[in-house]
């Protein structure tokens, strides 16, 4: 546990990547969603399945989790005992469905075909207490990373599947969709809800759940989205216009927006070649998005050892990164803006990697193994106004050298969940 990444560099010179965990930052994001969203907040575990993330969210009052595998179910069960889970992967094995239902008490399942619906019913032995969520293939614009190709029943085929799901269970039925990752257009949610509503009306069914999925953005260089309030306003307007009953629940599944600010990665410069920096982490480690979606992440440079270590400042120039593996695809084009005199042995901290950073690690070529340490400093950028603020680390007790604010659920959070107003 350190106050800042610089303190770690001064204490020792790490030879492998270091992931910095900021539980206090995560707790702020969790409370924001619980206070602002007029429904139930399910954390999308895939964004960052680190145990400290699950535990911090649970301590902050997040009691619902969107899981996509039995491994994620077991993770949540271990680190957030008693949490509610929704198996929202639309394609699952029969064994996974049975384990989720019979071994872990998971009763909410997503689907986008008649075959998957039948599979769920058979694997649960015709259970009558299921919540069946039909994933719709909506048309959405404004996302940096589209998620419309793989899942979602086409809207012209949706009514028959909705009706079949409604008839299949004595439990509950709902709809879900995904507008795409890093959605930059708040109105995309309201437009998607209008499409979902048309499918519901054509099917002639009443739904018990409207799940708007994820897609809530974070802020990166060159990608500054509108305020998150605008996204929730769009969702709440869209929900008010839907043909649903008074008890219909509203759900969301934030991943990136909750955890992106809560972690960064410290990498070491192994070699410089002009504007190319060769680092000890890369696309097969924590920098998948930097390579494959070519996102430029915020960066800062550390130099020196012991008490002489410091943050390097000065005129900036654009760099590109290469990772440590022997694969030429291990390339992050950037641009990443750093001082113009980067040297071998310097450290580059890459910010906003709490989402899809450590989670994407493959350890190809024997690289990618990172240690995790906790820090108090704010993120490099923030959707929650945290940049430049000291964020205390949640702990079980106060230390002698500083006062620590313990995590607690916001007052009144339990009573407002999940009902149409």
The CATH number linked to 60 is: 3.20.20.10
pLDDT at residue 180, as a whole number: 81
Q: How many domains does the chain have?
A: 2
Last residue of a domain, one of 212, 243, 259: 259
Per-residue model confidence as pLDDT tens digits over 258-274: 999 999 999 999 999 99
Q: Say if residue 235 is in the same domain as residue 284.
A: no
Query: Residue 399: inside a domain, yes or no?
Result: no
Handedness of CA 24, 220, 144, 91 (dihedral sign): negative
Q: Say if residue 65 is in the same domain as residue 167.
A: yes
> Does the pLDDT value for residue 387 go beyond 80?
no
Decide: 356 and 50 in contact? Cβ < 8 Å: no
Instruction: Identify whether 335 is preceded by a cis peptide bond (ω within 30 of 0).
Output: yes
Mean pLDDT, to the nearest integer, of 107-113? 97
Give the C-alpha separation, 56 to 414, whole Å: 17
Residue whose structure tokens are 């535990």: 55
Q: Say if residue 151 is in the same domain as residue 60.
A: yes
pLDDT at residue 361, as a whole number: 82
Q: Look up residue 262 and give its two tokens.
A: 């809560």
Q: Which residue has the higher pLDDT, 223 or 402?
A: 223
pLDDT at residue 389, as a whole number: 56
Query: Residue 413: inside a domain, yes or no?
Result: no
Residues 6+ apart with CB under 8 A from 252: 33, 37, 39, 40, 41, 42, 211, 212, 213, 214, 216, 235
Mean pLDDT, to the nearest integer, of 284-297? 89
Q: Say if residue 168 is in the same domain as residue 267.
A: no
**Structural element, H or E, at residue 265:** strand 263-273
Query: Residue 201: inside a domain, yes or no?
Result: yes
> Does the pLDDT value for residue 168 go beyond 90?
yes
Highest mean pLDDT, choosing among 12-16, 100-104, 240-244: 100-104
Q: Say if residue 140 is in the same domain as residue 285.
A: no
Q: Say if residue 223 is in the same domain as residue 360.
A: no
Three-state DSSP class for residue 349: strand
Query: Residue 409: inside a domain, yes or no?
Result: no
Q: Say if residue 43 is in the same domain as residue 143.
A: yes
pLDDT at residue 369, as a whole number: 80
Last residue of a domain, one of 259, 288, 304: 259
Q: Say if residue 172 is in the same domain as residue 68.
A: yes
Query: Residue 231: inside a domain, yes or no?
Result: yes
Q: What are phi and psi of 229, to 5 degrees?
A: -55, -35
Decide: 47 and 256 in contact? Cβ < 8 Å: yes
What DSSP state is assigned to residue 204?
T
> Does the pLDDT value for residue 394 go beyond 70?
no
Last residue of a domain, one of 374, 389, 409: 374
**Structural element, H or E, at residue 163:** helix 158-168
Q: Domain containing 272: what range?
A: 5-19+261-374
Give the C-alpha separation, 285 to 60, whole Å: 29
Q: Say if residue 322 is in the same domain as residue 194.
A: no
Q: Say if residue 74 is in the same domain as residue 105.
A: yes
Give the C-alpha separation, 234 to 72, whole Å: 30
Task: Indicate which CATH number applies to the domain containing 331.
Answer: 2.40.37.10
pTM, two decimal places: 0.88
Q: Which residue has the higher pLDDT, 345 or 414?
A: 345
Q: Say if residue 118 is in the same domain as residue 265.
A: no
Query: Residue 124: inside a domain, yes or no?
Result: yes
pLDDT at residue 169, as a whole number: 86
Round the average pLDDT of the chain to a whole number and report it: 88
Confidence of residue 148 (pLDDT cuts 50, 70, 90): low
Q: Say if residue 38 is in the same domain as residue 127.
A: yes
pLDDT at residue 402, as a whole number: 32
Q: Give 92-160 as a DSSP string.
A: --HHHHHIIIIIH---EEEESSHHHHHHHHHHTTS-SS-EEEEEEE-----EEE--TTTS-EETTTHHH
> Does the pLDDT value for residue 338 go beyond 70?
yes
Query: Residue 341: inside a domain, yes or no?
Result: yes
pLDDT at residue 142, as a whole number: 57
Query: Residue 418: inside a domain, yes or no?
Result: no
């Amino acid at each position: 546990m350190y106050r800042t990444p610089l303190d770690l560099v001064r204490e020792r010179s790490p030879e492998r990547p270091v992931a910095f965990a900021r539980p206090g930052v995560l707790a702020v994001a969790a409370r924001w969603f619980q206070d602002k969203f007029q429904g139930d907040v399910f954390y999308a575990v895939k964004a960052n399945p680190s145990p400290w993330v699950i535990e911090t969210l649970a301590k902050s009052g997040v009691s619902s989790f969107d899981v996509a595998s039995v491994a994620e179910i077991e993770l949540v069960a271990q680190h957030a005992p008693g949490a509610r889970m929704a198996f929202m992967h639309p394609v699952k094995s029969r064994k996974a469905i049975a384990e989720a239902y019979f071994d872990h008490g998971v009763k909410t399942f997503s689907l986008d075909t008649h075959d998957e619906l039948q599979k769920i019913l058979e694997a649960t032995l015709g259970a009558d207490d299921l919540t069946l969520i039909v994933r719709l293939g909506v048309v959405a614009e404004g996302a940096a990373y589209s998620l419309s190709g793989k899942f979602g029943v086409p809207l012209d085929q949706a009514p028959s599947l909705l009706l079949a799901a409604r008839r299949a269970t004595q439990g509950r039925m709902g709809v879900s969709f995904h507008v795409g990752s890093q959605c930059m257009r708040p109105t995309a949610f309201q437009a998607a809800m209008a499409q979902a509503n048309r499918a519901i009306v054509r099917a002639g069914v009443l739904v018990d759940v409207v799940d708007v999925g994820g897609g809530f953005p974070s802020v990166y260089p060159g990608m500054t989205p509108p305020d998150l309030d605008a996204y929730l306003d769009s969702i709440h307007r869209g929900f008010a216009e839907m043909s649903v009953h008074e008890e219909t629940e509203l759900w969301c599944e934030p991943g990136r927006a909750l955890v992106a600010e809560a972690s960064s990665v410290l990498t070491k410069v192994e070699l410089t070649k002009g504007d190319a920096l060769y680092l000890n982490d890369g696309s097969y480690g924590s920098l998948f998005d930097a390579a494959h979606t070519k996102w430029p992440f915020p960066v800062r440079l550390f130099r020196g050892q012991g008490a002489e270590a410091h943050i390097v400042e000065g005129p900036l120039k654009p760099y590109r990164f290469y990772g440590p593996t022997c694969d030429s695809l291990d390339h992050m084009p950037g641009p990443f803006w750093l001082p113009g005199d980067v040297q071998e042995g310097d450290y580059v901290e890459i910010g906003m990697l709490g989402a899809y950073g450590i989670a994407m690690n493959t350890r190809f070529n024997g690289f990618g193994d990172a240690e995790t340490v906790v820090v108090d400093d704010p993120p490099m950028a923030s959707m929650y106004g945290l940049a430049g603020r000291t964020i205390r680390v949640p702990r079980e007790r106060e230390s002698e050298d500083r006062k620590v604010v313990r995590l607690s659920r916001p007052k009144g959070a339990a009573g407002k969940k999940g009902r149409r107003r």
